[in-house]
Amino acid sequence: MMNTKHDILDFIEKLSAMSTSTLTMKDRVDIFNQLSDLSSTIVGLDHPVLNVKLVSTSQVQDNDYNPNAVAPPEFRLLKHSIKKDGLTMPIVVGRKRDEEGYVIIDGYHRTKIIKNDLAVNASLANYIPVVILDRSLDDRISSSIRHNMARGAHQVELTASLVVKLKEMAWTNEDIGKELGMDNDEVLRMQQITGLAEAFKNQSFSNAWE
């Protein structure tokens, strides 16, 4: 274990002097991921983006609750941007609980391009840069919604359905509102949109929804 600044810098210098031509891509990826772990530990700041990992495209799976849809022109623009500028943001994923692999929390459309566009896929050697959040299913859902809502890119109907799913997981309206940045009236409104108005017929709404 390297314990001093000198040890770490010496290790990096020796590593950079190695001929990468003698290493397989898997070897290079393993080294990159270990260095990312090391760098994150050294800087000591608790943000996932400071520890980017490369994982095989086969390990990254879609979720079934993404409330963000991109129209064809915007999707084409996203693909063009990745091809011209490269991938500038990692995909946010959660670790699957009962099996190998990861589920997308944010970055569904970028992942789709990486997997399906041959040129983009080849440029990343069939790997995807990710940051990994250790989240349960309900926390992954709320994280996806927060990412989408922060960009102003979410569909009301799908978000409403997700609110209902969280309710089915025994989340209270207060918990949902806190996690998704909604007030109580908004949470109730989301449930109304899904056709559950009868269940909430005794709830009153503020003027904000009139």
Tell me the two tokens of residue 102.
Answer: 């990861």
Of 121, 164, 171, 163, the closest CA to residue 146 belongs to 163
Tell me the two tokens of residue 64.
Answer: 């079934």
Tell me the two tokens of residue 56.
Answer: 């095989």
pLDDT of residue 140: 62
pLDDT of residue 209: 39
Every domain of the chain and the residues it spans: 1-48, 52-154, 155-210
pLDDT of residue 124: 97
CB 31 within 8 A of CB 15: yes
pLDDT of residue 129: 98
DSSP states along 41-66:
HHH----GGGS-EEEEGGGEE--S--
Of 140, 116, 2, 123, the closest CA to residue 67 belongs to 140
Q: Which CATH architecture has domain 52-154?
A: Alpha-Beta Complex (3.90)
Tell me the two tokens of residue 143.
Answer: 């994280």
Q: Kindly list the strands in the beta sheet with 60-61, ordered across the sheet, starting from the edge strand earlier in the chain.
A: 53-56, 127-133, 91-95, 102-106, 60-61
**Neighbouring-strand partners of residue 106:** 92
pLDDT in tens, the chain (210 residues): 555 777 777 877 777 776 666 889 999 999 999 999 989 998 999 898 999 999 999 999 987 666 556 667 778 888 999 999 999 999 999 888 777 899 888 888 899 999 999 999 999 999 999 999 876 656 666 666 665 554 544 556 566 766 777 777 777 888 877 766 677 787 777 777 665 444 444 444 444 433
C-beta contacts of 72-76 below 8 A and 24+ residues apart: 75/109
pLDDT of residue 193: 67
CA dist., res. 173 & res. 177, Å (int): 6
